[in-house]
Amino acid sequence: MDYKGFDAYERSIEKIEGCTIFMARDDGRDTIIVLADDGADAGALGFTGYALKQGIKAPLTHENALVLRKLLPHTAPSQVLRKDRSFGCGDRLGIAALGHIRVFEKYDAYPVFAQQSIRELNLTGRTYEDVLDTVSFAVFREGYRKGWGADGDHLKTVKDLEYALGLGFSMITLDCSDHIKTNVTAANAKSLPQAYKDKYLGKQFDIGEGVSLCFDEEELKKIVTIYGEAIGFAADMYKRFLKDGVYKADFEISIDETSEPTTPLQHYFVARELIDAGVSFITLAPRFCGEFQKGIDYRGDLAQFEKEIKVHAVIARHFKYKLSIHSGSDKFSVFPSIGRETGGVFHVKTAGTNWLEAMGIVAAADPALYREVHKYALSAFSEAAKYYHVTTDLSKIPAVDSLKDSELPGLSANNDARQLIHITYGLILNKKDPSGAYEFKDRLYKLWHDREELYAEALLTHIGKHLDLLGVQKTG
Ligand code: ZN
């Protein structure tokens, strides 16, 4: 809309301390405009930029994001993990917020719009500042006021926790995997301290809803060996960063990045030990049975999954935290049971599917560019596959040159093509030509920029499908 001579985003307009501030389109870019009423001082709000007559044109810098978050609390992350239903929307590219906002304006769940692991930062060449600022600006622009979170995802070190918390991230997902022992057998398990014997053996733990758990000595010995150090690590990090409440952030315990599924007994033990150590956490992510491979539906025994999620959900309710489900992109066949067994109380994370939807836009809009990227992805696949557990069969992907342009978007229904594009995102974005310029990145971003609306609508449909199957009601 035209507002005082600016091409303003209507929903962004705010009045603060005698000034009007809003987001406007200026020369093809979004920018913050601050206009002072008579007698007010536009500079007093703290934005920096170019002087206007009675105002400031403030570019979307980190410094201005800091000011924005201070002035307008809805543009800062908050502790939405504490809500019954929360949903992580990892946006690796920093272009999905518009679509994600539309989704969560419609559904009875709370979004974590900013969610990245350090690995994702490295692969996309982004920073946590950028990840957070991008969302703050989008939330401001769209006037989204329901609340959203920022997740320092899969953090493992003191340095990384400090980094995310220092910026105001509203949750930390502590990745305990480096402290979880693997290949533990009865033969190599450590001897069992008497305190654990007294606490757990010869007892029946009735945790409600007809579920009771019993430990035998051999099993307990293995469990203590596998998780003992991880529990100590989580307790240390909690005491160091979160116990005193200086940071307004929630704690998620992640024990999912292991090769073996978390059994109900293991889950109970980890939760019980953390709680007895005084650790307060909002969510815990077990490793579920079957396979949660990237960007495709669940693989495994559905009946077994349903049986186990039932018990995991009872344990979580017993201790009063939420289950967190990682790698939730496109796990459509298990969403109904997750929604049902958790009683609609959960956190689900997605990331890669948002990137795949973005590549779907490329396939439809610029077939030639899509073919180039696809062929490069094929050549880079073996490199990327070192970092992911996938069972991709490249021979099942039709040659892109044999497909008509109109058939390219259909590749997103091919699981092998999905995984090919999914796991090669970092290599695709970072590929440089001999002159040192990005081979694809700039062209891709230009395309997405020009088709912002199309991408937003695709995300509304696709993430909406996730929420529908999880049983989340529509509110708008
Ligand atoms: Zn995980």
Ligand 1 centroid to residue 1 C-alpha, Å: 43
Ligand 1 centroid to residue 47 C-alpha, Å: 38
User: Which of 313, 301, 162 has the alpha carbon at shortest distance from 237?
Assistant: 162
Ligand 1 centroid to residue 287 C-alpha, Å: 8
CA distances from 449 to 94, 253, 409 (A): 11, 36, 19
User: Which of 425, 412, 352 has the alpha carbon at shortest distance from 385?
Assistant: 425
Decide if 471 contacts 340 (C-beta within 8 A).
yes
Decide if 58 contacts 33 (C-beta within 8 A).
yes
CA distance 464 to 457: 10
When pLDDT is averaged across residues 177-202 and rounded to a whole number, the result is 95
Ligand 1 centroid to residue 257 C-alpha, Å: 6
pTM of the model: 0.96
Q: Which domains does the chain have, with CATH numbers?
A: 2-71 (no CATH), 75-353+462-469 (3.20.20.70), 365-450 (no CATH)
DSSP characters for 157-220? SHHHHHHHHHTT-SEEEEE-GGGS--S--TTTSPPPPHHHHHHHBT--EE-STT-EE-B-HHHH
Task: List residues, by chain if needed, whose CB lies under 5 Å from ion ligand 1.
Answer: 256, 326
First to last CA, the chain: 24
Mean pLDDT computed over every residue of the chain: 96
285 CB neighbour count, 10 Å cutoff: 25
- What percent of the chain is modeled with pLDDT above 90? 96
Ligand 1 centroid to residue 327 C-alpha, Å: 6
Ligand 1 centroid to residue 175 C-alpha, Å: 8
- pLDDT digits over 223-234, tens only? 999 999 999 999
pLDDT confidence band for 84 (50 / 70 / 90): very high
406 CB neighbour count, 10 Å cutoff: 9
- Give the catalytic positions in this structure: 153, 252
- pLDDT digits over 197-209, tens only? 999 999 999 999 9
When pLDDT is averaged across residues 322-347 and rounded to a whole number, the result is 98
Decide if 239 contacts 282 (C-beta within 8 A).
no
- pLDDT digits over 399-415, tens only? 999 999 999 999 999 99
- pLDDT digits over 112-135, tens only? 999 999 999 999 999 999 999 999
pLDDT above 80 (res 315): yes
